[in-house]
Chains A and B, each alone.
Chain A
C-alpha cells in the first residue's frame, strides 16, 4: 500500500475557482517526490491538502492508511502532529523561543518535550552551538535548518517541504539540499514543493502541476 495516495482530488475555492482538478498521485515509503510548477499553479493548495491543513472539495487523500478527506478538523490536527513534518519557505519559527525551544515546542504538542533529543536534532543539522540563539540571531540558512530539525523531531512518516530553499542563498541552499539527501538515504519519505527546476532535479521523482492539473515530469 502506498504511503500517500490522491484519488481524483479537486479543490474549488469559494465553490467556483478551481485550484486543483482531478489530481491523482501515489507516493511510496522512502520516495523523494518534487511537485513543481509556476506560481499560482496549485502547488500550495496541494501541499495544504497533503499536509492535513485543508480539506479537498472532492476526491480522496489517503495518508498512511487514513482517508483524510473524511477526517474532522480535530482529526487533521492529530494527523499533522503524528504523521507530518513540515518545512516552510519562510521558516516560521516562534520568535521568542530559542532554537532548541522551537524544536521542543513541536515535541510539546506531540507528546513530551525532551531537551536532549532536541539538542541531538539540532546537532544533526549542524547547529548544536546555536541552540540557545533566538531566531532573530540566526541567519536564514540556520533558521531553515532549525525548521528541518523541528520537522524531524517527532519521527513523521512524511516530510513536506514548501519551497525549502526559496529564501536561501546558494551556499545555504546546498547545505539544506545535502540534509534532504541524507534524510532520503535514511529512508525518509520527502515531498518538496518548488518552482525551481534546480531544486526539483534533486528529487528522485518529479510531477508538474499546471492550472490545477498534474502530470509526471519527463525525466
Chain B
C-alpha cells in the first residue's frame, strides 16, 4: 500500500516531481563534473606546466653542495659527463621523463675583442639509451616557450642562436655570420640561424651546439648541468617531508614516496643513476604546481558545494510547495491514524525516487560536462573516476535530506483539524 500511495503521488504530481528531478540532475551533474575534473586536474595541470620548461636541474654534486651551503662557486670547476646523461632515461620513472637538455656555459671572444656569454646544448639530439633504444631530445623539446626568429641551429653545422638583446647590441640578424677567435687565437665563424627570445639569460647570449662550446672552453665530453622535464605527481605533505630529508621517512613512507612520481623522488632516482650528480627540483615549478592545483581544487570544491546548496534550496522550495499543495491529503492521512513517521517516510520516498532518477541522469550528464571541460580547457579527455559515483550519491542523499527538512518540519506541525475543518 505504501508503494501504491507513493506511485500514485508520483504519477499525479509528475510535473512537480519532474522539476525536483531536474533540479537534482543539475546539481548532481555539476558536482559529478567538478569532482571528476578535480580528481584528474593534477595530471592536467602537470602537463600544462610542462610548457614552462624543466622542473629538475642536475648539477655536479660538489658544485651543488658549495652553492647550497656557502652560496659560492667552487674554484675548481666540476662537470657532469656527457656520456652519463642518457642514464636519466633508465630510472624507475623513465616514462615520466619527457625531455632533457645539457648546458655548458662559457665565453666567446669575437674578432672585435668583445666577449659574449656562450651556452652549448643539444637542440634536436638523438640519444642512444643503454637499452639500445633511441630518443630525440634537446632544447627544442624543453624550451617550448622560446621564440626563434629564423631557424633552430642544426647540430655540427656551425650554427647558433643569438639572444634578442645581444643581437641588437651586435647588430646581427638571422643569416648573418659571427666571427670569433678561439682559445688558441685561431679565427672561426658561426652562422646566426635565428634570433631567440625567451625572457631569460638566453636573450643576452649565444646558444649553440654543445660540442662547439666544449671545444671553446676546453671541456670535451663535459657539461655544467642538465635540465630535465618530467611529468610529476603534485607535491603533498609526504613529498615535502621527503624533499626536506628522505632519511627521515619510515620504511613504508619511503616505499610510497619512491614509487610515486613526486618531483623529489624522480630527482632522487636521477642522482642514483648519474654518479656524482645532484638533482634539484625547480622549486618554483613544483610549488606553483601545488599552489595552482590547491587553488583549482578549492574552486572546484566551492562550485560543487554551491551547486549542491543551490539544488538543495531548489528541492526545498519545490518540496515545500508540494507539501502545502497536498496539505489536505496529509491531514487526512493523519486523521486516519497515520503517524508523523509514516507520512514523513512517504514524502521522503517520493522525493528520493524523483531525486535518484534525476541523480542518475545528472551523473551521466556530469560525465559529459567533464569531458566538455577537459576538451575546452585542457584539450584532452578527463579520466572518469569511479570513486566520484559513490561520493556524488552520498552528497545527493545529503542534499535531498537537507532540502526536505523544511518540508518535513512543516509536515510534522500539520494538524489534521486545521487542514480538514479549519479552526
Residues in chain A within 8 A of chain B (CB atoms): 13, 44-45, 47-48, 51, 53-54, 74, 77-78, 80-82, 86, 88, 92, 94-97, 101, 104-110, 113, 150, 162
- Complex contacts, A107 vs chain B, CB 8 Å: 1
Checking A44, A78, A109 against B423 with a beta-carbon cut-off of 8 angstroms, the contacting residue is A44
Q: What is the CA–CA distance of A44 and B4 in the complex, to the nearest angstrom?
A: 32
Contact B337 A80 (CB under 8 A): yes
Secondary structure at chain B's binding surface: helix, strand, loop or mixed? helix
- Complex contacts, A150 vs chain B, CB 8 Å: 336
Contact A86 B335 (CB under 8 A): yes
- Report the minimal beta-carbon distance from B189 to chain A, rounded to whole angstroms: 94
The 4 closest A-B pairs by CB, nearest first: A81-B337, A96-B8, A53-B417, A96-B12
In the assembled complex, B219 has its CB within 8 A of some CB on chain A: no
- Report the minimal beta-carbon distance from B345 to chain A, rounded to whole angstroms: 12
Contact A54 B336 (CB under 8 A): no
Q: What is the CA–CA distance of A80 and B339 in the complex, to the nearest angstrom?
A: 11
Contact A81 B336 (CB under 8 A): yes
Contact A97 B5 (CB under 8 A): yes
Contact B417 A108 (CB under 8 A): no
Contact B8 A94 (CB under 8 A): yes
Q: What is the CA–CA distance of A81 and B333 in the complex, to the nearest angstrom?
A: 10
Q: What is the CA–CA distance of A54 and B421 in the complex, to the nearest angstrom?
A: 11
Given A13-B423, A44-B421, A101-B4, CB of A82 within 8 Å of CB of B12: no
Contact A97 B337 (CB under 8 A): no
Contact B335 A95 (CB under 8 A): no
Checking B1, B333, B421 against A113 with a beta-carbon cut-off of 8 angstroms, the contacting residue is B1
- Complex contacts, B422 vs chain A, CB 8 Å: 44
In the assembled complex, B157 has its CB within 8 A of some CB on chain A: no
* 8 other A-B residue contacts (CB within 8 Å) besides A77-B338, A80-B337, A113-B1: A53-B415, A53-B417, A77-B334, A78-B337, A94-B8, A95-B329, A96-B8, A105-B5
Contact A45 B5 (CB under 8 A): no
Contact B336 A106 (CB under 8 A): yes
Contact B417 A94 (CB under 8 A): no
- Complex contacts, B328 vs chain A, CB 8 Å: 92
Looking across the interface, which residue of chain B has its beta carbon closest to that of A101?
B4
- Report the minimal beta-carbon distance from A109 to chain B, rounded to whole angstroms: 4
Given A48-B423, A53-B416, A104-B1, CB of A97 within 8 Å of CB of B8: yes
- Report the minimal beta-carbon distance from A93 to chain B, rounded to whole angstroms: 8
In the assembled complex, B420 has its CB within 8 A of some CB on chain A: yes
- Complex contacts, A96 vs chain B, CB 8 Å: 5, 8-9, 11-12
What is the total number of residues of chain B having a CB less than 8 Å from a CB of chain A? 26
Q: What is the CA–CA distance of A77 and B343 in the complex, to the nearest angstrom?
A: 12
In the assembled complex, B2 has its CB within 8 A of some CB on chain A: yes
- Complex contacts, A101 vs chain B, CB 8 Å: 1, 4, 8
Q: What is the CA–CA distance of A53 and B416 in the complex, to the nearest angstrom?
A: 6
In chain B, positions 110-165 with a C-beta closer than 8 Å to chain A are none
Q: What is the CA–CA distance of A42 and B342 in the complex, to the nearest angstrom?
A: 32
Q: What is the CA–CA distance of A68 and B342 in the complex, to the nearest angstrom?
A: 23
Q: What is the CA–CA distance of A97 and B11 in the complex, to the nearest angstrom?
A: 11
In the assembled complex, B43 has its CB within 8 A of some CB on chain A: no
- Report the minimal beta-carbon distance from B156 to chain A, rounded to whole angstroms: 87
- Complex contacts, B5 vs chain A, CB 8 Å: 94, 96-97, 105
Given A105-B1, A105-B5, A108-B1, CB of A94 within 8 Å of CB of B332: yes
Checking B1, B334, B417 against A48 with a beta-carbon cut-off of 8 angstroms, the contacting residue is B417
Contact A95 B12 (CB under 8 A): yes
Looking across the interface, which residue of chain A has its beta carbon closest to that of B343?
A109
Q: What is the CA–CA distance of A16 and B416 in the complex, to the nearest angstrom?
A: 22
Q: What is the CA–CA distance of A110 and B11 in the complex, to the nearest angstrom?
A: 25
Q: What is the CA–CA distance of A160 and B61 in the complex, to the nearest angstrom?
A: 98
The proximity string for B residues 7-51 relative to A, scoring 1 for CB distances below 8 Å and 0 otherwise, is 011011000000000000000000000000000000000000000
Q: What is the CA–CA distance of A197 and B416 in the complex, to the nearest angstrom?
A: 28
The proximity string for B residues 278-291 relative to A, scoring 1 for CB distances below 8 Å and 0 otherwise, is 00000000000000
Q: What is the CA–CA distance of A77 and B415 in the complex, to the nearest angstrom?
A: 11
Checking A44, A94, A106, A108 against B329 with a beta-carbon cut-off of 8 angstroms, the contacting residue is A94
Most buried by B among A45, A54, A92, A110: A92
- Report the minimal beta-carbon distance from B359 to chain A, rounded to whole angstroms: 24
Checking A77, A86, A92 against B339 with a beta-carbon cut-off of 8 angstroms, the contacting residue is A77
A-B contact pairs, 22 of them (CB 8 A): A13-B423, A44-B423, A48-B421, A51-B335, A53-B415, A53-B416, A54-B415, A54-B423, A77-B334, A78-B337, A80-B335, A80-B416, A86-B335, A94-B8, A96-B12, A97-B8, A101-B1, A105-B333, A105-B336, A106-B337, A108-B1, A110-B337
Contact B332 A109 (CB under 8 A): no
- Complex contacts, A110 vs chain B, CB 8 Å: 336-337
Q: What is the CA–CA distance of A92 and B334 in the complex, to the nearest angstrom?
A: 12
Checking B2, B11, B339, B415 against A74 with a beta-carbon cut-off of 8 angstroms, the contacting residue is B339
- Report the minimal beta-carbon distance from A33 to chain B, rounded to whole angstroms: 19
- Complex contacts, A88 vs chain B, CB 8 Å: 420
Most buried by B among A13, A48, A107: A48
- Complex contacts, A94 vs chain B, CB 8 Å: 5, 8, 329, 332-333
- Complex contacts, B416 vs chain A, CB 8 Å: 53, 80
Contact A109 B4 (CB under 8 A): no
Checking A74, A97, A109, A162 against B421 with a beta-carbon cut-off of 8 angstroms, the contacting residue is A162
- Report the minimal beta-carbon distance from A111 to chain B, rounded to whole angstroms: 10
Contact B336 A80 (CB under 8 A): yes
Contact A109 B342 (CB under 8 A): yes
Q: What is the CA–CA distance of A44 and B342 in the complex, to the nearest angstrom?
A: 27
Given A54-B415, A96-B12, A104-B1, CB of A109 within 8 Å of CB of B420: no
